Amino acid sequence: MTINDVLVKNLTYYRHNMELNKTSFAKVCGVNRTTLENVYSGLNTISLTTLEQIADGLGCKPSDLILDWDGELKK
């Protein structure tokens, strides 16, 4: 599993847990929906600045988004 696969898995977890569609999720994350779509599709790599911005929007650490975990995230 690549780091992008892990990121997508974790973003999907947060989005489903928050019961948001992709547009609302992008707003919560503070990024453009196209940016998230490109991450989900693997078209673009994500910058560290964007990763931090998403983590801030979600109230987590950037490492929570790129570490592979089993089960629920612990906050």
pLDDT at 71: 55
Model pLDDT, residue 48: 93
Q: Could you tell me the CATH superfamily of domain 3-66? A: lambda repressor-like DNA-binding domains (1.10.260.40)
Give the pLDDT confidence score for residue 44 in this predicted structure: 75
Give the tens place of pLDDT for each residue, 16-59.
999 999 999 999 999 999 989 998 898 878 899 999 999 999 99
69 CB contacts (<8 Å, ≥6 apart)? 10
Going from N- to C-terminal start, the domains of the chain cover 3-66
pLDDT band at 70 (very low <50, low <70, confident <90, very high): low
Q: Which of 67, 59, 70, 68 is nearest to 14 (CA)?
A: 59
Given a cut of 90, is residue 14 above it in pLDDT?
A: yes
User: How many other C-beta atoms can be found within 10 angstroms of the C-beta atom of residue 29?
Assistant: 22
Q: Is the pLDDT higher at 42 or at 8?
A: 8
